[in-house]
Amino acid sequence: MKPAFKPLYVLCLSLAALGFVITASGFQLIKTTLNLTVRDELGNTVQGANVKLFETEEDYTAEKNVAAEGVTDAKGILKLKDLKAIPYFVMVKKDDKDNVGGGEQTGKLEAKKINKVTIVIQ
């Protein structure tokens, strides 16, 4: 005899596998996310790099009004979620290396997608 809850159970597992999130406003697939990889001048990933995102060039230059920030993981990656679908100015620093002066700016992030960017520090 099959349990009566099996179709509901399978539906829940299917939704979870597809990455659906139940929110107050309904179902949402993915939030606007940026997966940022930091590499050095030799192409090696950089663990422990400090990353800051700014919405405007003025804020980037003055290093104020940080929109999002974090530190890269062991693979040199920082995942930032709940971002606006706009271009960001990126500042990365680790020890005596940085990307300052390079004017690093992402392209406009795609809404409700996982966007990927690589930044080189030297």
- Phi and psi at residue 115, to the nearest 5°: -95, 145
pLDDT in tens, 54-84: 999 999 999 999 999 999 999 999 999 999 9
Q: What is the pLDDT of residue 103?
A: 58
33 neighbors 114 (Cβ within 8 angstroms)? yes
By percentage, how much of the chain surpasses pLDDT 70? Answer: 74
Domains of the chain: 31-121 (2.60.40.10)
24 pLDDT above the threshold of 70: no
Question: Which positions ≥6 away from 19 have C-beta within 8 Å?
Answer: 29, 30
- Residue 45, SS3? strand
pTM of the model: 0.75
Total length of the chain: 122
Identify the residue with better confidence: 120 or 29: 120
> How far is Cα 54 from Cα 77, in angstroms, rounded to an integer?
18
